[in-house]
Amino acid sequence: MSDKEIIPYRPGLEGVTAGITAISDVIGAENRLIYRGYDIRDLAEHCEYEEVAYLILYGDLPTQSQLETFKAQLRASQQLPEAVYQTLKTLPREGNPMAALQVGVAALGMHDPKASDNSHDVNMQKAIRLIASMPTLVANSYRILQGQEPVSPHPDLDLAGNFLYILFDREPEPLHARLMNLTFILYAEHGYNASTFTARVIASTLGDIYSAVTGAIGALRGPLHGGANEAAMEAILEIGTPESAESWLMEKLAQKARIMGFGHREYKTGDVRAFILKQHVRELAEQVDRMDLYEIQETMERVMLREKNLYPNVDFPAAVVYYLMGIPIPLYTPIFAAARITGWTAHVVEQHDNNRLIRPRSDYNGARDRVFKPIRERG
């Protein structure tokens, strides 16, 4: 490659096309997100998560018959092998839930005799297994870290409802189940984000789907990606009261602190997923009599827009929704993974189906032509 062919470096690879996909598109200028051509607003309003998972995997919305068959496949794969639970029980109680999730996915791969088979049909079978078992793994790995026994999935609940059922060992409130289903849909897929790109890089080496997902979980763990929802909720709790919200935020901005849950590289006029989810926060806050959290959120949004021209991203309302459901904060990022597993696996399948090793170049800015000295001559 000649110097004239070198594409100028952009920090964070912002705006650089790294691949081609038919799975989703983020149209930031229009504040739109589409899954396989369908607008996220329509999917969020009319679909259950399983329908969206089918769409992302197969490329089309299912018929009723196809959906029932797909749900049956998911139900058959929700439970984890006992050996995976035994592995999780060896982990330290103070361990990070995302690290436990990586261990669980790796263990699932160890117990899959077809783990190294990257053919399309086998990959689709593994994708279904991972989509079905990830909510179970997230909830039960956290229970194990808390010294509790795993709970088996409920045969009559969907994936989102089962996550709540397993975590709390009781059937979820209908509103909670509905909103968890909604957050699963909103988090299911989002283009070449950091974790998805990580999964595709690993898949491009012909690494198996479990290895790719394990790597994606590691990328999601960072506070600039999946961890933003946890940081956003911690900030809201630190503020404490609606009356303190504006002064707290102005002080943080004066210190040039980063306010998590605001801004998104792709969306310039607001994250469409945040707009969708925010419509339901008040309903949930009223149900559990915590309007103070809703009011803090409202004040923060108003001040951030006024002072920084930044809108909330999906992590901001999601954090409040999860907290109002009683979900422990350390589980917010693992929940993200439980939903995004659909996008990750679809991208791995797409990568393996038309693979080329992802191997970008770098521009070197270090020293050149240094004179070597034997160790005895180095002063």
Give catalytic residues, as residue numbers: 264, 315
Give burial (CB, 10 Å; 0-12/13-18/19+) of 378.
exposed
Chain centre distance of CA 371: 48
First to last CA, the chain: 39
Q: How far is CA 96 from CA 81, 133, 330, 337, in A?
A: 22, 19, 8, 14
Residue entry with tokens 């989002």: 190
Give yes or no for a contact between 164 and 176, defined as CB atoms under 8 angstroms apart.
yes
As given in the structure block, the two tokens for residue 241 are: 């009261």
Helix (H) or strand (E) holding 32: strand 32-35
Beta bridge partners of 38: 35
d(CA 334, CA 140) in angstroms, rounded, equals: 11
CA angle 297, 300, 301 (to 5 degrees): 85
d(CA 322, CA 183) in angstroms, rounded, equals: 10
d(CA 200, CA 190) in angstroms, rounded, equals: 13
Contacts of 27 (CB under 8 A, 6+ apart): 33, 34
> Are β-strands 24-27 and 38-39 bridged in parallel, bridged antiparallel, or unpaired?
unpaired
d(CA 152, CA 16) in angstroms, rounded, equals: 44
Chain centre distance of CA 44: 17
d(CA 120, CA 346) in angstroms, rounded, equals: 11
Give yes or no for a contact between 285 and 291, defined as CB atoms under 8 angstroms apart.
yes
Beta bridge partners of 51: none
